[in-house]
């Protein structure tokens, strides 16, 4: 309902308008009917008005003066003047105020209704335009993010700046430019003690601080890559070392730190993808160069990182053996991993990689709706025991015992009643991943109410059904990317995505890589 204010010093005319005009049928509501300009101003002070219907001639304050004051307060107000005078001077003044109607007395209700109807339609058009503008305003940052992501991931040979470069102010970059990628360190376990609302509050506060600090340094081109990573473009006035203060601020104000990988300077858009790849490589070296700091790209580094990537691949096989209670294969995989670790050199590196292995194992268990530390009744500080081991064999034996116990507990959980039900649900969902799987459909299949099954599933699996389906789809898509030659869109369809860009965004949110990057690396 649009709000209408009536002002007329003639009581009969005022009551006639209020009584005989079908306001409700017109989609309008009379919020005030007053007989002086001063009373009308008081209503306008406390109430948002859409339409003012006022007599032109009123004592003390004319309708023209009232309209001026009202428009000063509420500039989008629509005004209809009512007058018993045909004096052209009144009409001229009304036109100067962009009046939306001028009705003569004795008033014809149909004429006023016609003016009110036109104004209501105009208000609706204006509201729709504002909604469209607001929607467009919200879409612009998302569109810019996608555009920048494409620039960073795809080498491009381009000539003059196009319209989008100008719209997103990329044409104002001061070359040479380098890409830097900011990553939240220890994302999962640092935030694990917090509830979901607390996590969201922390992350929102962090990204607000990040935007504020980058803006104060003149950095305006920011691209969110995933929950953990953000890319920025730095020109020659903003060397990567200038971001060191940012890492210190985050360290002081949040329970986590950030590491920043910086690529080399490039001189054109076509080379941004090279600088971006270097920034990601610099971040890969965090394991060996430390976290909570700025890491410039080092072309000479890489051997240990490549070995760590090999360990990542073997971890998939190790986890599968743990989950399937295949103790022989688990022992073989663990031995192969430690053979690689033994070639790393220093004992500090061995301990760090063992810690890394445990944390990666915990992350992988999350996709199975399990938590390593909860299952083993451990806290992160219990891993300090690694410091006291003197040989790699000691660490190997300790981890073997830990994994054997973990595998036993996973097997035991599968035998529980609800565990068996959840396993059946998981198998059912796996067989229908290519469809639009919903909790309501699954509840119907297993003869439960959706609400009850949702609570039961979350209690047993440790996560919401919808989040589980997403994780399952991401797991399946990773396997297909590694083990088949299917095209990306074919994989997306097999795991239930009909819209390829949404699948790509979801995959990148989960893994930090696009599907094509993941396939190349694996």
pLDDT band at 217 (very low <50, low <70, confident <90, very high): confident
Same domain, 170 and 293: yes
pLDDT at residue number 184: 92
Q: How many other CB atoms sit within 10 Å of the CB of residue 171?
A: 13
Which residue, 348, 382, 406, sits at the end of a domain?
406
Range of the domain at 510: 416-522
The backbone torsions φ and ψ at residue 313, rounded to the nearest 5 degrees and listed phi first, read -65, -40
Q: What is the rounded CA–CA span in Å between residue 66 and residue 68?
A: 5
In terms of average pLDDT, the best of 8-12, 137-141, 170-174, 312-316 is: 8-12
Same domain, 389 and 505: no
Same domain, 285 and 306: no
How many structural domains are present in the chain? 4
- With beta carbons less than 8 A apart as the criterion, state whether 28 and 116 touch: yes
Same domain, 295 and 377: no
* Of residues 83 and 87, more confidently modeled: 83
Q: Which stretches within 60-108 are classed as H helix?
A: 63-73, 88-96
pLDDT above 80 (res 353): no
pLDDT above 90 (res 216): no
- With beta carbons less than 8 A apart as the criterion, state whether 515 and 504 touch: yes
What kind and span of H or E run contains 455?
A: helix 450-461
Same domain, 236 and 283: yes
What kind and span of H or E run contains 33?
A: strand 28-34
Which residue, 350, 373, 406, sits at the end of a domain?
406
Residue 146 included in any domain: no
- Torsion angle of the four alpha carbons 127, 131, 133, 135, in this order, in degrees rounded to the nearest 10: 180
Q: How many other CB atoms sit within 10 Å of the CB of residue 23?
A: 19
Same domain, 294 and 311: no
484: left (phi over 0), alpha (psi -120 to 50) or beta: beta
pLDDT at residue number 263: 93
Residue 91's CATH number: 3.40.50.2300
pLDDT above 70 (res 118): yes
Nearest-5° Cα angle at 139, 138 to 144:
115
pLDDT at residue number 375: 80
Q: What percent of the chain has pLDDT over 90?
A: 21
Q: What percent of the chain has pLDDT over 70?
A: 88
The backbone torsions φ and ψ at residue 221, rounded to the nearest 5 degrees and listed phi first, read -105, 100
Same domain, 447 and 367: no
Among 396, 375, 376, which Cα is nearest to 386's? Answer: 396
Q: What is the rounded CA–CA span in Å between residue 342 and residue 357?
A: 14
Same domain, 179 and 294: yes
Residue 260's CATH number: 3.30.70.270
Q: What is the rounded CA–CA span in Å between residue 186 and residue 145?
A: 25
314: left (phi over 0), alpha (psi -120 to 50) or beta: alpha
Residue 323 included in any domain: yes
Q: What is the rounded CA–CA span in Å between residue 249 and residue 15?
A: 65
- Interval 418-474: pLDDT, tens: 677 888 888 888 888 888 888 888 888 888 888 878 888 887 777 888 888 888 888
Same domain, 295 and 167: yes
Residue 249 included in any domain: yes
Residue 137 included in any domain: no
Residue 505's CATH number: 1.10.10.60
* Of residues 401 and 94, more confidently modeled: 401
3 state DSSP class of 180: strand
Sequence-distant (≥ 6) Cβ neighbours of residue 360 within 8 angstroms: 312, 315
pLDDT at residue number 231: 94
Residue 154 included in any domain: no
pLDDT at residue number 281: 87
pLDDT band at 265 (very low <50, low <70, confident <90, very high): very high
> What tokens does 196 get?
């979901």
Same domain, 116 and 12: yes
pLDDT at residue number 86: 62
Residue 155 included in any domain: no
Residue 186 burial class via C-beta count within 10 angstroms: exposed 0-12, middle 13-18, buried 19 and up: middle
Give the count of alpha carbons within 13 A of 408, CB side only.
7
Which residue, 100, 127, 154, sits at the end of a domain?
127
Nearest-5° Cα angle at 342, 341 to 348:
75
Same domain, 249 and 280: yes
pLDDT above 70 (res 96): no
Q: What is the rounded CA–CA span in Å between residue 177 and residue 220?
A: 13
- Interval 49-84: pLDDT, tens: 999 999 888 888 988 899 989 999 998 899 998 887
pLDDT above 70 (res 357): yes
> What tokens does 489 get?
């869109």
pLDDT at residue number 170: 83
Residue reference for tokens 């709706």: 369
Same domain, 366 and 466: no
Residue 491 included in any domain: yes
pLDDT at residue number 39: 94
pLDDT band at 345 (very low <50, low <70, confident <90, very high): low
Of 161-170, 246-255, 334-343, minimum mean pLDDT range: 161-170
pLDDT at residue number 94: 65
């Amino acid at each position: 309902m649009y709000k209408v204010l009536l002002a007329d010093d003639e009581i009969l005319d005022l009551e006639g308008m209020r009584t005989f005009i079908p306001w409700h049928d017109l989609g309008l509501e009379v919020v005030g009917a007053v007989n002086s300009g001063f009373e009308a101003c008081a209503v306008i002070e406390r109430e948002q008005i859409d339409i003012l219907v006022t007599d032109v001639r009123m004592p003390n304050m004319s309708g023209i003066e009232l309209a001026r004051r009202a428009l000063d307060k509420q500039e989008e107000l629509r005004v209809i003047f009512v007058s018993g005078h045909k004096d052209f001077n009144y009409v001229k003044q009304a036109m100067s105020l962009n009046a939306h109607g001028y009705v003569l007395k004795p008033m014809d209700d149909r004429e006023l209704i016609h003016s009110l109807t036109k104004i209501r339609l105009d208000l609706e058009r204006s509201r729709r335009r504002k909604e469209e503008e607001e929607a467009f305003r919200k879409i612009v940052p998302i569109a810019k993010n996608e555009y920048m992501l494409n620039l960073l991931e795809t080498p491009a040979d381009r000539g003059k700046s196009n319209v989008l470069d100008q719209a997103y102010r990329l044409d104002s970059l001061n070359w040479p430019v380098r890409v830097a990628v900011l990553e939240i360190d220890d994302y999962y376990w640092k935030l694990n003690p917090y509830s979901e609302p607390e996590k969201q509050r922390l992350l929102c506060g962090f990204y607000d601080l990040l935007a504020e600090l980058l803006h104060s340094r003149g950095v305006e081109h920011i691209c969110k890559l995933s929950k953990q990573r953000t890319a920025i473009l730095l020109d020659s006035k903003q060397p990567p070392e200038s971001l060191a203060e940012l890492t210190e601020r985050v360290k002081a104000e949040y329970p986590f730190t950030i590491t920043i990988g910086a690529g080399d300077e490039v001189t054109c858009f076509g080379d941004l993808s090279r600088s971006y790849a270097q920034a990601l490589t610099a971040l890969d070296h965090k394991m060996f160069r430390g976290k909570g700091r700025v890491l410039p790209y080092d072309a000479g580094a890489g051997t240990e990182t490549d070995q760590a990537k090999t360990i990542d691949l073997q971890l998939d096989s190790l986890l599968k053996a743990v989950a399937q209670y295949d103790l022989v294969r688990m022992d073989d995989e663990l031995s192969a991993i430690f053979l690689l670790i033994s070639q790393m050199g220093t004992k500090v590196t061995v301990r760090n990689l063992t810690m890394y292995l445990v944390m990666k194992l915990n992350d992988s268990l999350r996709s199975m709706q399990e938590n390593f530390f909860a299952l083993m009744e451990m806290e992160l500080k219990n891993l300090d025991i690694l410091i006291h081991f003197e040989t790699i064999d000691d660490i190997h034996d300790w981890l073997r015992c830990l994994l054997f116990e973990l595998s036993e507990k996973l097997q035991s959980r599968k035998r529980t009643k609800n565990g068996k039900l959840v396993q059946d649900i998981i198998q059912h969902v796996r067989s229908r991943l290519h469809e639009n799987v919903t909790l309501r459909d699954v509840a119907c299949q297993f003869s439960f109410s959706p609400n009850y099954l949702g609570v039961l599933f979350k209690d047993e699996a440790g996560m919401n059904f919808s989040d589980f389906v997403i994780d399952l789809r991401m797991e399946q898509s990773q396997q297909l990317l590694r083990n088949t030659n299917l095209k990306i869109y074919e994989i997306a369809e097999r795991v239930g995505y009909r819209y390829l860009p949404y699948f790509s965004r979801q995959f990148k949110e989960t893994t930090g890589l696009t599907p094509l990057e993941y396939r190349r690396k694996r």
